[in-house]
């Protein structure tokens, strides 16, 4: 699979293929901010930013309630991205679209009956994002620039840890990955909306690009709040079930 993806990355992508489908590298902090600024300049930027904000809040606060729907949606997006990338190898007109649609449908259909394994995959991806981010942040914080190239090790550790934890503490992994994804989507939506104002964008963009602490706090604080809120709601629900079970017994 890796050689196929590597080969696909070297192919000329269909000019009709959206740029975010064609990107397969981890963006730097500056590149991520530039993408948000580009989103704000897009003619549909406001709509996309509002959708990111609304969907992000659902993931952040209610992820544990509707996790099956969210997992299937995530699987469909991952399948679409993988299918579209493989579709570029076929060199047919709009093959990225047909292959992406097929990949989305296939992964969505598989995610529902294999829910625990799908949650493991989502948890692993969230863990890899978290591990990569923590490694990158710690290296910059301590000034150890030479270890930045090994950030993949942090991503691998997070991938294995959270992926395997899904089979032991299923609910905790759901709250972690939905809260983390919700935080990223919510913050992205808010930042994109703020950048619609030129004066705010002029002061916000340099801070986000140059200050590692600002971006880390913007992502970490909502994620932690989301995990705490969701897990406390789960605990209350479990506590309410115990008296009912005792009464029934």
For residue 5, being part of any structural domain is answered with: no
Enclosing domain of residue 87: 28-236
Mean pLDDT over the full length of the chain: 83
20 within a domain of the structure (yes/no):
no
The full 3-state SS of the chain, as one line of letters, equals CHHHHHHHHCCCCCCCCCHHHHCCCCCCHHHHHHHHHHHHHCCCHHHHHHHHHHHHHHHHHHCCCCHHHHHHHHHHHHHHHHHHHHHHHHCCCCHHHHHHHHHHHHHHHHHCCCHHHHHHHHHHHHHHHHHHHHHHHHHHHHCCHHHHHHHHHHHHHHHHHHHHHCCCCHHHHHHHHHHHHHHHHHHHHHHHHHCCCHHHHHHHHHHHHHCHHHHHHHHHHHHHHHHHHHHHHHHHHHHHHHHHHHHHC
Query: What pLDDT digit, counting tens, does each position of 207-225 carry?
Result: 888 887 888 889 999 999 9
**pLDDT tens-digit readout, 172-202:** 899 999 999 999 999 999 999 988 888 888 8
Please check whether residue 170 lies inside any domain of the structure.
yes
**Reported confidence tier of residue 15, pLDDT bands at 50, 70, 90:** low
- Domain assignment present for residue 163? The answer is yes
Is position 139 within any domain?
yes
Q: Is residue 248 part of a domain?
A: no
First to last CA, the chain: 53
81: its two tokens:
């991205």
pLDDT value at residue 87: 81
Domain-located, residue 6: no
Per-residue pLDDT of 69-113, as tens digits, reads: 999 999 999 999 888 888 877 776 778 788 889 999 999 999 999
* pLDDT value of position 2: 37
Residue 24: its pLDDT value, please? 55
pLDDT, residue 71, reads 95
**pTM of the predicted structure, to 2 decimals:** 0.82
Q: How many domains does the chain have?
A: 1
Q: Is residue 128 part of a domain?
A: yes
């Amino acid at each position: 699979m890796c050689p196929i993806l590597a080969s696909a990355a070297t192919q000329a992508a269909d000019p009709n293929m959206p740029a975010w489908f064609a990107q397969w590298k981890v963006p730097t902090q500056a590149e991520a901010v530039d993408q948000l600024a580009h989103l704000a300049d897009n003619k549909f930027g406001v709509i996309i930013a509002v959708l990111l904000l609304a969907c992000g809040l659902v993931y952040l606060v209610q992820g544990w309630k509707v996790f099956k729907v969210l997992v299937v949606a995530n699987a469909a997006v991952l399948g679409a991205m993988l299918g579209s990338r493989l579709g570029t190898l076929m060199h047919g007109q709009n093959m990225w679209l047909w292959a992406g649609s097929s990949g989305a449908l296939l992964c969505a259909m598989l995610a529902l009956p294999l829910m625990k394994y799908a949650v493991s995959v989502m948890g692993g991806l969230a863990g890899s994002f978290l591990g990569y981010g923590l490694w990158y942040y710690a290296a910059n914080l301590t000034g150890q620039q030479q270890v930045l190239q090994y950030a993949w090790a942090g991503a691998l550790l997070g991938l294995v840890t959270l992926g395997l934890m899904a089979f032991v503490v299923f609910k905790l992994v759901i709250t972690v990955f939905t809260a983390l994804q919700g935080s990223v989507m919510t913050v992205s939506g808010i930042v994109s909306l703020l950048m619609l104002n030129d004066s705010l964008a002029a002061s916000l963009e340099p801070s986000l690009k140059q200050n590692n602490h600002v971006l880390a706090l913007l992502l970490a604080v909502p994620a932690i709040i989301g995990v705490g809120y969701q897990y406390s709601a789960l605990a209350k629900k479990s506590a309410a079930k115990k008296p009912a079970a005792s009464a029934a017994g």
